[in-house]
Amino acid sequence: MKIGITCYPTYGGSGVVATELGKALALRGHQIHFISYSLPARLDNFAGDVFYHEVEMSQYPLFDFPLYTDSLASKMVDVAKYHDLDVLHVHYAIPHATSAFVAKQILAPTKDIKVITTLHGTDVTLVGLEPSFLPLVKFSIEQSDYVTSVSRFLQMKTYTMYNIDKEIEVIPNFVDTQKFIRRKDCQFRERIAPNGEKIMVHVSNFRPVKRVPDTIRIFDIVRKSVPSKLVLVGDGPDRSESERLTRELGISEDVKFLGKQTLLPEILSASDLMLMPSQSESFGLSALEAMSCSVPVVSSSTGGLPELVLHGETGFIAEIGDVNRMAKYAIDLLSDERKWQLFSQNSRKRAEDKFNVEQIIPLYERLYERAISETREISVSAK
């Protein structure tokens, strides 16, 4: 099949899922065309039947604001037409589903391209609810040929918040369990924790919704009972505030802000516990990647996290903001080696059994096949 994929190319979870999906599909013999404003972060170092089409933005004095939705729609039309795409699969509804709708209408006289929209989280639970976006988001979701969401939580939220009259299929996020596998003899561990301290890790885009200061407060409690270090991966608006809090608490020596990193499996392999105290999380891809590296997770009980983190088996969940309880759970796990081993094995097993790339990609393939089988024949004269 020939699939066009549009996503945000930066470090957000939706871009990661879209890119990993495209790469996995290419390895299974499909032709993949990424359409975005910059090369998706995880697409470098990959060679296969994968093309990248950059959306060109025209600068004109009259345009006070960039017209990305329009430029993206035009690029979609161009790529769909000249590369004969079967499907446009857009990740994150705003504005991608809108651009895809426009592209579909432009192409309609000559080509019945199918549009699939995958909802990831804040496109539905936060940004999409703003009054200036809501009607357009609802319309664009309903106009998609098929809609998927990454968790049952997000599916239900979309139905209730937007009163959507359309079937939403849940296709959970996935992980390459061969790539995200715990490595032994990790040098990174020795550098971060030379005296055998435990390592806690947090991976996010440091937006307020991730509650990074809670992560630091949890760590501050844990380190008083368990000799430990905290490693923070990623960057974003709350990084400076988080660094300031670390200085204020006098724990800078034990907290490493690594910024954006690409060698996540190495970092996760060195870690004993992931902390994810988010305010809102439709799935929690970073938690899944940690679990695949045999790292248990202590998280908040928000959104789709309980669908991933099994309380008392692969980690623990607690109310949003309950840093004392999360710290208690972390101390419990980090100071009981047998329990940690069991949770670590359970985490790996859950990633392998339920969220393995090999199991999830065929679900998308079947969806594409279903959509393509419904393609309307367009007579030659119409072309």
**Contacts to ligand GMT by CB under 6 A:** 12-15, 17, 92, 120-122, 150, 173, 205, 209, 280-285
Closest CB 348 distance from ligand GMT, rounded Å: 19
Nearer to ligand GMT, 30 or 157 (CB): 157
12 versus 277: smaller Cβ distance to ligand GMT: 12
CB of 131 to ligand GMT, least distance (A): 20
CA dihedral (180, 311, 219, 261) in degrees, to 10, reads: 20
Residue 221: phi and psi, rounded to 5, are -75, -45
Give the residue from 281, 262, 275 showing the smallest Cα distance to 333.
Answer: 275
**Between 122 and 300, whose beta carbon lies closer to ligand GMT?**
122
To ligand GMT, the closest distance from the beta carbon of 210 in angstroms equals: 7
Distant-in-sequence, close-in-space partners of 81: CB < 8 Å, separation ≥ 6? 107, 110, 111
86 versus 281: smaller Cβ distance to ligand GMT: 281
> What whole-number distance in Å separates Cα of residue 145 and Cα of residue 166?
9
Q: Write down the residue that tokens 């910059």 correspond to.
A: 38
CB 291 within 8 A of CB 351: yes
Element (H, E) at 324: helix 323-334
Task: Write down the residue that tokens 């729609």 correspond to.
Answer: 73
Report the residue number, 205 or 314, with the smaller CB distance to ligand GMT.
Answer: 205
Residue 55 or 331: which CB sits closer to ligand GMT?
55
Smallest separation, CB 278 to ligand GMT (Å):
6
41 vs 106, beta carbon nearer ligand GMT = 41
Shortest distance, position 112 Cβ to ligand GMT, whole Å: 28
d(CA 312, CA 37): 43
Q: How far is the CB of 341 from ligand GMT (least distance, A)?
A: 27
Q: How far is the CB of 7 from ligand GMT (least distance, A)?
A: 8
Residue 363, token pair as written in the block: 């679900």
Choose among 93, 91, 101: nearest CA to 137.
93
Cβ at position 59, least distance to ligand GMT in Å: 27
Closest to ligand GMT by CB, 31 or 118: 118
| Helix, strand and coil percent figures for the chain, each rounded to 5 | 45, 15, 40
Q: Largest Cα–Cα distance in the chain?
A: 76
Query: Do the Cβ atoms of 324 and 257 come closer than 8 Å?
Result: no
> Of 257 and 355, which has the nearer Cβ to ligand GMT?
355
Between the alpha carbon of residue 79 and those of residues 23, 74, 137, 378, the distances in Å are 18, 9, 24, 19
The residue with tokens 């000799």 is 227
Distance CA 73, CA 261 (A): 32
Least separation in angstroms between CB 380 and ligand GMT: 41
